[in-house]
Amino acid sequence: MLRYLFPPREGVDRKTYIRSSLVRVTLVSMAGSAMITLLVESLTPHPNYLQALFVAVLVPSVVAPPLIYWHGAAIFDLEASRRRIEELSRTDELTGLWNRRFFWELAEDALRLAARHHYPVSVLMMDLDRFKTINDRHGHQTGDAVLEAAARVLHAAIRKTDVLARYGGEEFVLLMPHTGGGEALWQCERLRRELAARGGEGLPRVTISIGVAASDRHGHDLDRLLVAADRALYQAKDQGRDCCVLSA
């Protein structure tokens, strides 16, 4: 019952949730108990409203807090576990970005909205250059660290409205609402420079190749945009890597 009346809000810590639940539920219990008791007393031949009201308020104030404390703690822990499981099902474990499955859900919703309101959307397919060489020379642990670092750089460089995900292996995908092909290509160059300029952390430097596809050329269909962006990505690889190509 507590879970449905007072569900734990995201960002609220355990102590705050239990304290607020104690106060709210105890007050509600006392008010309900007082109303029922006064109603029953009014139907008795010799009502004693003061005594009845005292008992009605006293009992919930004694009984409710320990019950709510135990129940609230259990509900908070259960809700925290549920949110954690939900988060893991949507995010990539290594990089913390959205995973491929959840990207599809977000992207299809974004594209439907864009088609309805007639604004452009661009999709970027991004691949770290010569990533296999990093794994072979430095080991997979270093390779994972490079992926994490690259994900942080890309995530820090995108806009709040953009949707960034790890698509698989060393490949990332980015959906950019309200962005036509020309602006997407400019943003693509900015991302490429940001990653190329990354330093520190004791990790090998990496570059990135990016293919761009825009809805003003390929429509608001996710499959078509991904295919076009992937084709442009291979053109970027063929042109020497560390560059951006806009799909025709």
Give pLDDT tens digits for 170-209.
999 999 999 999 999 999 999 999 998 886 568 898 999 9
The structure's pTM equals 0.69
- Together in a domain, 108 and 164: yes
* Contact of 233 with 209, CB cutoff 8 Å: yes
Whether 80 and 111 map to the same domain: the answer is no
Nearest to 96 by CA among 154, 11, 138, 157: 154
Q: What's the number of domains the chain is made of?
A: 2
Cα separation, 3 vs 24, in Å, equals 13
The phi and psi torsions of 169 (rounded to 5 degrees) equal: 60, -125
Chain segment 144-158, per-residue pLDDT in tens: 999 999 999 999 999
Q: Are residues 115 and 193 in the same domain?
A: yes
pLDDT at 3 over 50: no
Q: Is residue 94 part of a domain?
A: no
What would the pLDDT profile of 14-28 be if each residue is shown by its tens digit?
666 666 666 666 666
Question: What was the pLDDT predicted at 105?
Answer: 93
Please tell me whether residues 200 and 109 are part of one structural domain: yes
CATH code, domain carrying 159: 3.30.70.270
**175 and 106 together in one domain:** yes
Which residues belong to the active site? Answer: 170
Domain that holds residue 115: 100-246
**Tokens (6 digits) for 107:** 């992207």
CA 118 vs CA 162, 196, 220: distances in Å: 17, 35, 10
Domain boundary pick from 40, 63, 88: 88
- Return the pLDDT at 193: 93
Which residues, other chains included, contact 133 with Cβ-Cβ below 8 Å and sequence gap of 6+?
A: none
DSSP E strands, 115-206: 121-128, 163-168, 171-177
Residues 136 and 158 grouped into a single domain: yes
CA atoms in the 13 A half-sphere facing the CB of 73: 6
- Is 95 domain-assigned? no
Mean pLDDT, rounded, for 74-94: 66
Tokens of 134: 């990093």
Residue 119 and residue 208 in one domain? yes
Considering the domain boundaries, does residue 167 fall inside one? yes
Cα–Cα distance measured from residue 229 to residue 49, given in angstroms and rounded to the nearest whole number: 77
- Would 11 be classed as within a structural domain? yes
Average pLDDT in the 77-94 region?
68
Decide which of 44, 64, 88 is a domain's last residue. 88
Q: Are residues 108 and 192 in the same domain?
A: yes
